Chain A
């Protein structure tokens, strides 16, 4: 009885509300890409509402040592599959360099030792995967904002793009390579750090050794692991799918604060 009345009811709704609602509801279903323009419009609204309510500096909740998860799930890549990365790992990242270039005054390279000498920030924060699970960990690293300040950005700079060592999907053109991007509000946020340690130890390979991004007001897929290069850009048009990240090119929101 219920199913019949429900479907009848749905039919009634369709005929009652007319074309507007049906068009809104049907639009996303008909578009083969992830959602269509109408559904995508909510993302802009969400991001603007968040920025309005939280301001630039509102901090993500920081937790106590006692709150740290007994295990921190490893997700996505667990080991970058390249000879280059294998060689870096063999040398314990002695030859690894973080390159920062693009729309900067003076491009620079940092070794892991260089980064560890800089003033660090330690924070115990919650990692929220887009799938729904959460884990709490303690991260230590260099605030990205202080690095960018020391290098100097050109006036046209808008986004920081993180190029990573891992390839999540083997593709002939290399578009399966992991990359992510954040805007300058998040790049200069005090909790946005390039973490080299987790729970008091050097970052494990599974968690992104030697360096990963922590941008705590956003979901897990923004926390790029195996960061090799940070490129400052004014648009995403020259990057792979043009949507600003590996997951964004596969239909996920660029703004990952929800």
Chain B
């Protein structure tokens, strides 16, 4: 987020200047990440459909107590879908457990319109997943290397002194809840809620996805048996992989909502061209 002023010289709009907000590395890795995470999520749902149950511990198969089941059952009214967790069963026919595939109600955990590929094909789903997992890892390594070396993390993402005090955080939360977004000079930098959220995603969720994913591989377990101890078993890692993926989906929904609410076009332009418009406070000579 350098302060190179461009808009002012171009004299586009009185009182509005364009600042360079995002570096080219941030922008390219961001969009590649969108591509990777979309492919990973949708092919991941295809893989999940092959055995739509989650367990805790070292083992888990049909007959072992499941933490979560997305299932189907046949009764007099036909196929019905359900989600079962902790003894509670919720009917989800039409979406989870049973959904329409080529016009027929079909028993499948996630519906065809949400999976890559759309028909039930574990082999192809796995190929998509592992291809984009490599892509995601390489892209992430580029971003992390850049973030440390360029000072992007220190300059833009590390919270400033005083930003972590309870009163300041509360003030930020209240302001955000009222959908009042920073303007003027304040808009030059991420606010503390953005910083904390991005740090949790970059240093928490995404590495967690990678590590739990690796723990599901018998080959990686042989190379790094400590992963099994870290997560308490392959099935626990699989469950955490799924939970973290759903947290990432929630992050994306909130992220996109914030992008739209705080100025869809300005934000989109800054993530594509790097330039972000801010209104200068006070009269400018």
Contact = CB atoms under 8 A, between A and B. Distances in A.
Is B a genuine binding partner of A? yes
B34 A9 contact: yes
Interface stretch (B60-68, B151-159, B163-171, B177-185): B60-68
B130 A54 contact: no
Contacts of B59: 67, 69, 126, 134-136
Contacts of A134: 58-61, 234-235
Chain A, interface size category, equals 35 or more
A24 B135 CA distance: 11
Nearest to B264: A5
B148 interface: no
Contacts of A43: 127, 130
Given A28-B128, A217-B218, A258-B217, A131 B134 contact: no
A10 B256 CA distance: 12
A34 B126 CA distance: 10
Interface string B213-233: 000111111111100100000
B48 A132 contact: yes
Contacts of A9: 34, 256
Interface in A26-58: 28-29, 34-35, 38-43, 45-46, 50, 53-55, 58
A238 interface: no
A12 B259 CA distance: 14
Contacts of A58: 222-223
Given A1-B260, A126-B58, A60 B222 contact: yes
Given A45-B134, A131-B50, A16 B124 contact: no
A257 interface: yes
A117 B23 CA distance: 69
A28 B235 contact: no
Interface in A81-130: 126, 128-130
Given A39-B131, A61-B221, A134-B58, A17 B117 contact: no
B44 to A, nearest CB: 11
Given A50-B219, A60-B221, A73 B61 contact: yes
Contacts of B127: 28, 34-35, 39-40, 42-43, 251, 253
Interface in B174-226: 216-225
A253 B125 CA distance: 12
Interface string B247-283: 0000001001101100010001000100000000000
Contacts of B228: 61
A130 B122 contact: yes
Contact of A132 (B50, B64, B131): B50
A70 B93 CA distance: 32
A148 to B, nearest CB: 21
Given A34-B121, A45-B134, A253-B126, 11 more contacts: A5-B257, A5-B264, A29-B116, A63-B58, A73-B61, A132-B47, A133-B51, A134-B235, A135-B59, A253-B123, A257-B218
14 contacts: A34-B127, A35-B128, A39-B127, A40-B127, A42-B130, A71-B64, A130-B122, A131-B122, A133-B53, A216-B222, A217-B218, A217-B222, A251-B124, A252-B126
